[in-house]
Structure 1
Amino acid sequence: MITQATAYPTLSLALGSGKRSLPWLLFLAVAGSLLLWASAKIQIPFYPVPMTMQSFVVLFLGFALGPRLGAATVLLYLAQGLAGLPVFAGTPEKGLGLAYMTGPTGGYLAGFVAAAYVTGWFAQRGFDRRLATTALAALAGLSVLYALGLGWLGVLVGWGKPLLEFGLLPFLPAEALKLALLAAVLPLAWQGVSKG
């Protein structure tokens, strides 16, 4: 079992000079939830479907904040949505609050929490320092995210439907791009931190 003493520091710890005070952690969580909110609202033209940066931000939050704070930040974002704030992609047009969260994207929202935890777990083990290991850790996070998303989608629409064609395949090109971006950016960020 990894302990805090043997864990690799996350980017937030390295940049915050090891700060763990409650105000600092709350600031990081609120800032992360706002970043996730913004990432849901910006659509980038892409083929075959428009791309948001939500999954990128979810994985980044896990890497940067660690498993517990990363997952807690995503939970804060979900709490904002549950309270009726239009934080999700397609809101308020596609509904708000619990009605939206229990719809077809509900599993993906739950997957956000799990994905942030998974990538944070890998970050505590130093996987975000090199391109190849960052890519593997991001792929693990995305796999968990899509497993939960497709699982809930299957419950809602039925397992006889072409779930992969609805809930996975159209998003793979964009996810590959975001994964490559994470794999490039995080090791560079660590190089900058180590020089600073």
Structure 2
Amino acid sequence: MTLTQAAFPNRSILMNTMLVLAGSALLAASAQVSVPMFPVPMTLQTLVVSMIGLAYGSRLGAATVLAYLAEGAMGLPVFANFSAGMGPLTGPTAGFLWGFVGMAWLTGFMVERGLDRGFGKLFVAALIPALLLFVPGVLALKAVTGMAWQAAAMVGMVPFLLGALVKAVLAAMAIKGGWTALEQR
């Protein structure tokens, strides 16, 4: 069971829509907390994607990220540095942006399969998909820029590994705190 399923056991279409909108808004805000690096900026998006997957589950988590990508594709400035349009979805960061869908889905899937409670389980459910995000991220970075594999890994993965670990810890702590608050209610 996910945190949102426990908090809202009789979720309606309206409630799911509100959760998707809230999640995509939080994801858009997290994209603006950015350390400019080229060609991939360091943002808080992976933290929020992990939290969405941990709290929403696989289907609602993936739907939330897809809504975020659609908002950006339609021209809303939701991507890093208030960018929008198809450029970010086809450029050097495309693998990360599209990979967020799989990351949210896999994180939610792991939660739905029993990694839903306790810091350790939540940490594993957040960390593994976050590390797997580097696969499409580095692949697209190499394909779009023509960089060698080592260069693509050096700019698209290595600087972000410690951050992935820290963000998995923070996501697990936040969702564990949500469960604790819900149980005390």
The alignment's TM-score, normalised by the length of structure 2, stands at 0.90
Shift of 1:158: 2.9
Which of residues 123, 127, 131 is equivalent to 2:119?
131
Determine helix, strand or coil for the equivalent of 1:90: helix
**Corresponding letter in the other structure for 1:153:** L
Q: Any stretches of 5+ residues in structure 2 without a counterpart?
A: none
AA aligned to 1:15 is A
Structure with larger Rg = 1
Give the total of aligned pairs.
Answer: 181
1:20 aligned to 3, 6, 11, which one?
11
What is aligned with 1:5?
A: none
Q: Which runs of 5+ in 1 are unaligned?
A: 1-8
Match of 2:168 among 150, 175, 179: 179
User: 1:50-106 deviations in whole A, cap 9, x for unaligned?
Assistant: 7421101011111111100100000000000000111000233xxx31122100000
Determine the C-alpha separation between the residues in 2 that align with 1:44 and 1:123.
30
Divergent runs of 4+, >3 A: none
Offset of residue 159 of structure 1: 5.6
Aligned 8 A contact 1:128 1:186 in 2: no
The structure with the greater share of residues assigned to helix is 2
CA–CA separation in structure 2 for the residues paired with 1:106 and 1:112:
10
CA contact (8 A) 1:82 1:97 kept: yes
Aligned ranges 1:59-98 → 2 under 5 Å = 59-92=50-83, 96-98=84-86
Q: Give the Cα–Cα distance (whole angstroms) in 1 for the partners of residues 173 and 35 of structure 2.
A: 20
| Residue of structure 2 equivalent to 1:141 | 129
* 1:10 to 2:2 alignment: yes
